[in-house]
Amino acid sequence: MIFLIGWLTACAQNGNDMKFNPLTPEEGKVILHKGTERPFSGKYVDFKEDGTYTCKQCGTPLFRSEDKFDSDCGWPSFDDEIEGAVKRIPDADGQRTEIVCSNCGGHLGHVFKGERFTEKNTRHCVNSISLNFIPENIMSKTDTAIFAGGCFWGVEYYMQKEPGVITTTVGYTGGTKKNPTYEEVCSHTTGHVEAIEIVFDPGKTSYEKLARLFFEIHDPTQANGQGPDIGEQYFSEIFYRTDEQKEIAEKLIGILKNKGYKVVTRLRKATEFWQAENYHQDYYEHKGSLPYCHGYTKRF
């Protein structure tokens, strides 16, 4: 899903179907079977470059270089993670807390608190073999779009296949509840909608092209949800990150209205995006079926 071996590998596999990256036996021992690489043997222990560390198995961004510090423990150490990217699981013996990628469940290492290495008083002790790295100059060349158009499974299914899309993440946004669960969003008490965050390469596609696709893979005239999915979590919305994105969305809505479509899609400035549970990610890819409430209709 990523340049840096990860993106290029996944994008090369079956078009842009977002399959997990293949792992070597050594990588599988750590990432799949929760092993640990030898201390001071990993490539990122003394690594100092600016950029973003991603999951080797699925390409999800996990840690930023500014949060990396030297703990002299033998493994890369980070005192913070990218919001929602890392899941914590207590070990069965109750002695330690495992950390895994929230998207694919791949084993990363363990997290420790109270050691006072940094002001955040947290150390994510991560196996280098679980990571890939995107240099800052590469990461800065990507852009992000956030759309909500009914069940996020179907929106992701179509967006994943668009050339130029690097990663897709389904989640929740627009509401007030921090770290919402799917059950909480379904209770209609959080204000969140089901949405998709798309990281794309502006050299291969554009925000306008993705926004046009968004309007053609769901019904932007349905006010109460999408297809059989009724309720506020399924509303049609665009969460713009820049004034340029807002202007593009307004232009496209204007074109559709001139064509006679009674568009109800709302535009809101993007706020915090909360990644959904792992079983929601790449749902139709894993299930091997087609979306039940999304399909393509040419509108432009």
Q: Enumerate domains of the chain plus CATH numbers.
A: 6-136 (2.170.150.20), 142-287 (3.30.1060.10)
Say whether 242 sits in a helix, a strand or coil: coil
Contact 222, 237 (CB under 8 A): no
Q: What is the pLDDT of residue 4?
A: 37
- CB burial string 38-76: b at 16+ within 10 A, e below: eeeebebbeeeeebbbbbbbbbbbbbbbebbeebeeebb
* Region at 286 (left for phi over 0; alpha for psi -120 to 50; beta for the rest): alpha
Contact 160, 52 (CB under 8 A): no
Q: What is the pLDDT of residue 19?
A: 55
As beta bridge partners, residue 124 has: 78, 111
As beta bridge partners, residue 148 has: 237
Check 55, 58, 104, 151 and give the catalytic one: 151
Check 55, 101, 125, 293 and give the catalytic one: 125
Average pLDDT of adjacent 10-residue blocks, the chain of 300 residues: 36 41 92 96 96 91 96 97 92 91 94 96 98 84 94 96 90 95 95 96 92 98 94 97 97 97 98 92 86 93
Mark whether 151 is an active-site residue: yes
